[in-house]
Structure 1
C-alpha cells in the first residue's frame, strides 16, 4: 500500500533528529499493509549493518531487531542447543508467505506488540531481554514480558529504538514445549503457550501469549501440580487481560490457554507426549 502522507525516507546511519511523524522502518511488512496517516518520515534501519544473530561468549544469543524471520529460521534449524526447535515452531506460527519471511523483522514483530506476535512469544518464552536505545544515545534493558504491556502497547519512549533482544544461555539449554490454537486451520493464533524446563534446577516456566493482551510468564521453582498451575494463571491474568477480537472470544482463549498450559506441564514434568 502506498503511504501518501510520507514525504521523506532517510537513512538511519545519518543520525536524523527525531521529530513528530517519524517512524522507524525495518522490514515494513506492517507499515505498508494499511494506511498510516500520522507518518511523515520513515527512518530506514536496513543499512545499519547489525549482525542478525550473534552467539555471545557466555552462551547467550543476541538477535538484532533487523534480523528477518527467514534468517532466524535458517539459524534455528542448524543451532545445536536444546531449545532450538522452538525457533522454527514460532516462525511457523506466522503462517506467512516466503515474501513476508524475507522482509519481516524480529524487532518489527515485537514493536507491533500484537497479542498473536510469535516473536513476542519466542522471546518471552525464553526469558529474553530487550536492549533499547534512546535519542540521546543512552541504553536500557527491559525483559520482553515488560516491554509489551498491552495489545499494541509497548514500553517505548519518544524516538526510542529496539536494538536487539538477548536470550540467556540457561533458557537455551532448557527442554521446551509448544502449543498453539486457532479458530481456523490457517488462522491467527488465539492462544500460544510455551514451556521451558530448566535442566539445572528443575524449575518450570510457562508463558501465555496470543490469548492475552500481553505476555504472561509464570515461573515455578519446582514443577507445579495441575491445580497449582491453573490457580497461578487465573490469579494473575484478570478478566480484562484475555484478548477479545474476531479471532477468539476471551472465554475461549482462557479455556484454551489453561488446557494447553496443562498439556505442556504434563509433557515436561510427567513424561507426557512429546
Structure 2
C-alpha cells in the first residue's frame, strides 16, 4: 500500500532529530499493509549493517532487530541447543508466504506487539532481553516478557529503537515444549504456549502468549502437579487479559491456555506418562 503522507525516507545511519510523524522502517511488512496517515517520515534501518545473528563470548545468541524470519529459520543451531526446535516452530507460526519471511523482521514483530506475534513468543519463552537505544544515546535493557504490556502496546519511548534481543545460553540448553492453536488451518494463533526446563536448577517456566494481551510467565522451582499449574494460570491471568478478536473468543482462548499448560506440564515433568 502506498503511504502518500510520507514526504521523506532517511537513512538511520544519519543523525537527526526525532519528530512527530517519524517511524522506524525495518522490513515494512506492517507499515505498508494498511494506511498510516499519521506518518510523515521513515527512518530506514536496512543499511545499518547489523549482523543478523551472532553467538557472544558467553554462548548467548544475539538477534538483531533487522534479522529476517528467513535468516532466523536458516541459521545453523548448535547441537547443544536443546531448545533449537522452538525456532522453527515459532517461525512456522507466522503461516506467511516466503516473500514475508524474507522481508519481515524479528524486531518488527516485537515492536508491533500483537498478541499473536510468534517472535514475542520465542523471545519471551527463552528469557530474552531486549536492548533499547534512546534518542539521547542512552541504552536500557528490558526482559522481552515485560516489553509488551498490552495488545499493540509496549514500553518503547518516543524515538526509542529496539536494537537486538539476547537469548541466554542457559535457556538455549533447556528442554522445551510447544503448543499452538488457531481457529482455522491457516489462521492466526489464538493460543501459543512454550514450556522450558532450566538445565541447571530444573525450574519449569511456562510462557503464555497469543491467548493473552501480553506475555505471561509462570515459574515453578519444583515440579508442579496439575492443580498447581491450574491455580498459577488462574492467578496470573486476569479475566480481562484474554484477547478478544475475530481469531478467537476469550472463553475459547482461556480454555486452550489451561489445556496447553497442563499438556506442557505433563510433557516436561511427567514424560513417562506422555510416552
What range is the shorter-chain TM-score in?
A: over 0.9
| Alpha-carbon distance, 1:16 to partner | 2.0
Q: Deviations over 1:192-236 (max 9, x none)?
A: 000001121111000000000000011111121111001001111
Normalised by the length of structure 1, the TM-score is 0.98
Provide structure 2 residue ranges, at least 5 long, that are not aligned to the other structure.
Answer: none
The residue aligned with 1:174 is: 174
The residue aligned with 2:241 is: 241
The residue aligned with 2:206 is: 206
Q: CA RMSD in A?
A: 0.9
The residue aligned with 2:220 is: 220
The answer to which of 103-112 and 53-62 deviates more is: 53-62
Provide structure 1 residue ranges, at least 5 long, that are not aligned to the other structure.
Answer: none
Go from structure 1 to structure 2 and tell me whether the alpha carbon gap of 1:273 and 1:97 turns closer, same or farther (over 3 Å shift).
Answer: farther
The residue aligned with 2:115 is: 115
What is the aligned length? 273
1 CA distance for matches of 2:87 and 2:78?
Answer: 10
1 CA distance for matches of 2:274 and 2:3?
Answer: 48
| Alpha-carbon distance, 1:57 to partner | 1.0
Q: Deviations over 1:161-204 (max 9, x none)?
A: 00000001110010111000010011000000000011211110
1:25 aligns with 2:25: yes
1 CA distance for matches of 2:182 and 2:258?
Answer: 15
The residue aligned with 2:78 is: 79
The residue aligned with 1:189 is: 189
The residue aligned with 1:42 is: 42
The residue aligned with 2:94 is: 94
| Alpha-carbon distance, 1:266 to partner | 0.3
Normalised by the length of structure 2, the TM-score is 0.98
| Alpha-carbon distance, 1:43 to partner | 0.2
2 CA distance for matches of 1:200 and 1:14?
Answer: 45
Q: Structure 1 segments of 4 or more deviating over 6 A?
A: none
2 CA distance for matches of 1:223 and 1:119?
Answer: 27
1 CA distance for matches of 2:195 and 2:222?
Answer: 13
